[in-house]
């Protein structure tokens, strides 16, 4: 009796950069390629409004840098994601390279779409937790909710819902959700 073993090849950054620019959102998570269509206009509106509040308080306040999608975030050779919003605080500029963010940002924000909801709520949550991302927000435009997950002892803890969100990793910043929806 013989047995065979199927070799699984994990994709990496070299594979990622060879993906043609087709207007879709490409990511590699644990070596597996994922593709999502462009987000809806309301998704983009929510992203813009969150970005505005984060930008004016974090970047203009000299606390760090804010990036919006598309921007590559590489955690490992086999994990390259494109969060909707990325915050890197000023004490960690070394993870920002000319082509991508290579390392763990301080805050990642994913705005769910019908095509990305499962990945955002399960797969990316697990990957971000494993990578050690200190804070992760899951924003649901349809439900008008923001789930604030803060890493404590290596595990995400869901913070109580509120109309104002205060990032745990950035003191003095307040996001007014009534101005987002």
pLDDT tens, residue by residue, 7-26:
778 999 999 989 988 877 88
CATH number of residue 165's parent domain: 3.90.1570.10
What pLDDT is stored for residue 20 in this prediction?
87
Structural domain containing residue 152: 39-179
pTM, two decimal places:
0.86
Evaluate whether residue 158 is within a structural domain.
yes
Evaluate whether residue 15 is within a structural domain.
no
Confidence at 2, pLDDT banded by 50, 70, 90: low
Is pLDDT above 80 for 63?
yes
Evaluate whether residue 106 is within a structural domain.
yes
Evaluate whether residue 31 is within a structural domain.
no
Evaluate whether residue 8 is within a structural domain.
no
Is pLDDT above 80 for 4?
no
Q: Domain total for the chain?
A: 1
Q: Mean per-residue pLDDT for 43-58?
A: 97
pLDDT above 90 coverage of the chain, percent: 80
What pLDDT is stored for residue 8 in this prediction?
75
Confidence at 39, pLDDT banded by 50, 70, 90: confident
**Which H, E and C letters describe the chain, residue by residue?**
CCCCCCCCCCCCHHHHCCCCCCCCEEEEECCEEEEECCCCHHHHHHHHHHHHHHHHHHHCCCCEEEEECCCCEEEECCEEECCCEEEEECCCHHHECCCCEECCCCEEEEECCCCCHHHHHHHHHHHHHHHCCCEEEEEECCCCEEEEEEEECCEEEECCCCCEECCCCCCCCCEEHHHCC
Is pLDDT above 70 for 1?
no
Evaluate whether residue 73 is within a structural domain.
yes
Confidence at 160, pLDDT banded by 50, 70, 90: very high
Evaluate whether residue 11 is within a structural domain.
no
Evaluate whether residue 23 is within a structural domain.
no
């Amino acid at each position: 009796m013989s047995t065979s073993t199927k070799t699984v090849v994990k994709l990496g950054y070299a594979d990622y950069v060879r993906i043609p620019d087709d207007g879709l959102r490409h990511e590699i998570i644990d070596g597996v390629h994922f593709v999502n269509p462009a987000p809806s206009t309301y998704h983009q509106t929510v992203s813009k409004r969150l970005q505005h509040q984060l930008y004016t308080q974090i970047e203009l306040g000299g606390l760090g840098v804010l990036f919006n999608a598309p921007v590559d975030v590489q955690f490992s050779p086999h994990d390259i994601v494109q969060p909707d919003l990325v915050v890197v605080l000023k004490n960690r500029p070394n993870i920002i390279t000319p082509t991508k963010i290579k390392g763990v940002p301080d805050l990642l924000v994913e705005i769910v779409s019908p095509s990305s909801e499962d990945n955002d709520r399960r797969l990316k949550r697990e990957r971000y937790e494993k990578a050690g991302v200190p804070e992760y927000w899951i924003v649901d435009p349809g439900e008008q909710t923001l789930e604030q997950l803060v890493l404590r002892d290596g595990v995400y803890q869901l913070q109580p819902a509120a109309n104002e969100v205060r990032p745990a990793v950035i003191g003095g910043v307040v996001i007014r959700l009534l101005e987002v929806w």
